[in-house]
């Protein structure tokens, strides 16, 4: 019997991993409004969110690993609903990320499901420093992506920059946003 459970747990986990693979192909739709023909994928966005969340948390006195984990799962629900631009949200009813996550993790073993459920809930409620760091990382990553697109010749990205910048809450996140506006996206090449 244990072998059947192990096989079901493995099969459920692999099915979930295949679903998460959709995020590699799912484009961030809002950038099409700015004329970006081939915008970043949700997966590409989430990677840098997780990285930035860890860095912000480290400077803010939080747990970098936890903040990164929250950032990693923050948009995972988009496999089911797509990336809905902010301009579309007033016109559609969307299930909560917690509800979508419950459906997504239904086939996972208990500990794995609990881990993701708790991460999504923590991110959505914003009750911890790590969740706030991850949220700031999401906003900062959007700002940085807009700067990168502007450097590539897309001129209609200022709305993303200002909206993201105005919502960042942590001190280090604010400092990073200011730096992102003055440091060239290629500055790393000269170090």
pLDDT of residue 89: 87
Q: Give, in degrees to the nearest 5, the angle at Cα 25 between 156 and 165.
A: 35
pLDDT of residue 1: 45
Residues of the chain short of pLDDT 70, as ranges, are 1-6
pLDDT of residue 3: 58
Q: Compute the distance between CA of residue 74 and CA of residue 1 in angstroms, rounded to an integer.
A: 35
Are the C-beta atoms of residues 133 and 170 closer than 8 Å to each other? yes
pLDDT of residue 116: 98
> 126: left (phi > 0), else alpha (psi -120 to 50), else beta?
left
pTM: 0.93
Length, in residues, of the chain? 191
What would you report as the CA-atom Rg of the chain, rounded to the nearest whole angstrom? 18
């Amino acid at each position: 019997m244990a072998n059947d459970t192990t096989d079901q747990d493995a099969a459920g986990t692999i099915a979930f991993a295949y679903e998460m693979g959709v995020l590699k192909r799912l484009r961030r739709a809002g950038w099409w409004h700015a004329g970006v023909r081939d915008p970043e994928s949700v997966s590409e966005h989430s990677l840098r969110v997780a990285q930035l969340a860890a860095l912000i948390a480290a400077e803010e006195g939080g747990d970098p690993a936890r903040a990164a984990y929250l950032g990693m799962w923050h948009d995972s629900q988009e496999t089911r609903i797509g990336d809905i631009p902010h301009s579309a949200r007033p016109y559609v009813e969307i299930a909560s990320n917690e509800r979508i996550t419950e459906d997504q993790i239904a086939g996972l073993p208990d500990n794995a499901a609990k881990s993701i459920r708790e991460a999504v809930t923590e991110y959505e409620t914003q009750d911890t420093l790590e969740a706030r760091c991850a949220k700031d990382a999401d906003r900062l990553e959007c700002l940085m992506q807009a700067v990168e697109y502007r450097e590539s010749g897309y001129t209609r990205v200022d709305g993303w920059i200002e909206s993201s910048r105005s919502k960042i809450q942590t001190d280090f996140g604010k400092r990073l946003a200011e730096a992102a506006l003055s440091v060239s996206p290629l500055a790393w090449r000269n170090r």
